[in-house]
Structure 1
């Protein structure tokens, strides 16, 4: 008999096509929760882009006149302040996106048992894990900054000491750092899902992700690359008409317009571009988050026998307003469905060799 499929995917280890199809179904069945959270994650960057575009277009002449009569120290201070503001917005965007990415795992897990999730319910179920998600985002950001600073410092040191030979050595070192970054990224990719579903802390979530992805690294990398390419292609297709707008608008609406009309058109096109970019980014973000969550559920089915627990939960109808997989500790030593602890051993219901 085929395994049951109460929701978006069958209750067994998943294939690539099932992960793709399940991700689309999650977005369709929980559009308010998934797209609403994605728009929140993308809105801050979109607003910043629109404001910068409008400010640049409307004040370029006055800025040039002001800069011509300003000292270099004032210009440097202005540049540093602008860079600090952009960095602050980027950090806030990353933290918000990390929290919302963890929250969006909830509709995916509930959709496996065909349980719809509203935006309010998603946030209610994910709210207790916000602190752990923020700490996880802080750890990942610190690791990312370290991964950027170490190669930069090494490049400066090699260039200063070895000059031409140091520049030649930078190429293999750069490729090595990129490969190391990708390897670690894949190993830690399902940490937000582990933090939310298994109610783990930030560091425990990282360790859990490292454990779950063991022996599945190449498979996860392949899925991630395919999804990233798909999202990039769709985003470029959506933005192609926007790139054709400036010459068309300038030709047909204001062929003899002055600087004022050109400036207004540039502002309007910048705002439209930011809005369309946010919409395309929200759809891609929702799809990528759904794929990440289904990869996590698939890994737990392979290693922990989570599909058996979900099947029992579906048959009994237990915890209809909760998160499927939360509270099930099938992958931990000593767990037993009968409630007694026989000591360390293989997880009940786990697939052989984690496959």
Structure 2
């Protein structure tokens, strides 16, 4: 694990391998898994209350919360967490070598960890985010300028359902391209920044050169995974809507749009952890998709809720950032602010460039928040199900972590 910025896929309960499997050499003669034998039984890592860590089973000869006994001394009497005199007073603080404590994470800790990663590793994060945002916006501007001439905005006071449906059909390629371009950018950004987040979790520094070195060997697999996710999201979003558009039925189209939203939500959440799984476990694209589905299983609503909340926060922040650029574009537009309302300003290159610059700035600053939360959700799910905190503590050099019935007292 120390020889890579992430963590190789261990034998784990969620993969159908118990703790005994970690101690037995594989039948094919390959190197045994580096996964710790000190794993809890399946189901023990349930969601704890805020600020609490599920207790580990004590080792032979030690009591709950006891620490290693120095040579030549009698072992101390066992005591309860947080209260040597007895009684349950809560667990001691978990070790925190980096941006998160090494235990199952609460919502606030995931959000704080994503912000701390951006603040502490801003050179690596913003450089990658800026490149992705700029390339995405250039592609969007080109398609927007080519397609806006063919879109006719109907008069809202006299438009009939057929005319509205025709306008929707004409605008669908542009809005669809915008949506899927954002998905593509988030997938690539999540994969590219996963090594940065992994170093932040371990309390290690990260530079753009380190990020490039970690990503370069996995670039073909990363592009393959991006292609699979894009094709899957296209199928989930477009197939339910096609019958209504082809038949010209507004009711069928509306029903198809509702179905496509549900399918897209399921698809996104189920495979949201695939990019960090690919980069940190260094498997194949198909293996990363399966790994994400296993980690999300049983926690779909939790992953969905945290991802949705992060998206709302990111959207609000991006809107605030874009507003000054939109105001400037309205002042410089040929028809003033009225041209922004009727849509004619979207055909002017000055307006498109100014709003595009605002969109690049907003995406550069806010997209890493979403991708950081996704990677930390991956880490959190593995801590809950596979006791990944043991492996993280060893990689971070936390001495004595996991060897007794409590976390290391040196952690903060």
Instruction: Note whether the superposition's TM-score is higher than 0.5.
Output: yes
Name the counterpart of 2:136.
45
Q: Report deviation, 1:151.
A: 1.4
Contact 1:53 1:267 in 2 (8 A): no
Matched, 1:290 2:379: no
Name the counterpart of 2:214.
125
Matched, 1:198 2:281: yes
Distance 1:202 1:250, change over 3 A: closer
DSSP-derived class of the 2:240 partner: helix
Tell me which of 216, 219, 231 is aligned to 2:299.
216
DSSP-derived class of the 1:104 partner: helix
Q: Distance in 1 between the 2:321 and 2:234 partners?
A: 32
Q: Distance in 2 between the 1:275 and 1:250 partners?
A: 15
Distance 1:138 1:155, change over 3 A: same
Contact 2:236 2:263 in 1 (8 A): no
Q: Distance in 1 between the 2:177 and 2:258 partners?
A: 29
Name the counterpart of 1:279.
361
Tell me which of 221, 224, 235 is aligned to 1:135.
224
Contact 2:99 2:201 in 1 (8 A): yes
Q: Report deviation, 1:269.
A: 4.9
Contact 1:106 1:125 in 2 (8 A): yes
Distance 1:101 1:247, change over 3 A: closer
Stretches of structure 2 lacking an aligned partner (at least 5 in a row) = 1-91, 150-171, 337-344, 407-412
Distance 1:270 1:154, change over 3 A: closer
Instruction: Tell me which protein shows more helix as a share of its residues.
Output: 1
Contact 1:194 1:208 in 2 (8 A): yes
Distance 1:16 1:89, change over 3 A: closer
Q: Distance in 2 between the 1:43 and 1:88 partners?
A: 16
Q: Distance in 2 between the 1:231 and 1:84 partners?
A: 25
Name the counterpart of 2:323.
240
Name the counterpart of 2:9.
none
Structure 2 length-normalised TM: 0.59
Distance 1:128 1:93, change over 3 A: farther
Q: Distance in 1 between the 2:137 and 2:181 partners?
A: 13
Distance 1:272 1:109, change over 3 A: same
Q: Distance in 2 between the 1:135 and 1:276 partners?
A: 31
Q: Distance in 2 between the 1:189 and 1:96 partners?
A: 13
Structure 1 length-normalised TM: 0.68
DSSP-derived class of the 2:239 partner: helix
Contact 1:95 1:134 in 2 (8 A): no
Post-superposition Cα deviations, 1:64-123, rounded to whole Å, max 9, x if no partner, equal xxxxxxxxxxxxxxxxxxx99999999888766644421201110110111011011011
Give the superposed CA RMSD. Answer: 3.7
Q: Distance in 2 between the 1:173 and 1:95 partners?
A: 23
Residues 22-61 of structure 1 mapped to structure 2, 5 A cutoff: 22-48=113-139
Q: Distance in 2 between the 1:102 and 1:52 partners?
A: 26
Matched, 1:312 2:401: no
Post-superposition Cα deviations, 1:128-187, rounded to whole Å, max 9, x if no partner, equal 211111111111122122224421333257x47xx6xxx545544542332122112101
DSSP-derived class of the 1:204 partner: helix
Distance 1:100 1:169, change over 3 A: closer
Contact 2:241 2:256 in 1 (8 A): no
Contact 1:33 1:122 in 2 (8 A): yes
Stretches of structure 1 lacking an aligned partner (at least 5 in a row) = 61-82, 255-262, 318-336, 338-348, 350-355
Contact 2:329 2:355 in 1 (8 A): no
Matched, 1:183 2:262: no
Tell me which of 184, 189, 197 is aligned to 1:108.
197
Q: Distance in 2 between the 1:123 and 1:21 partners?
A: 25
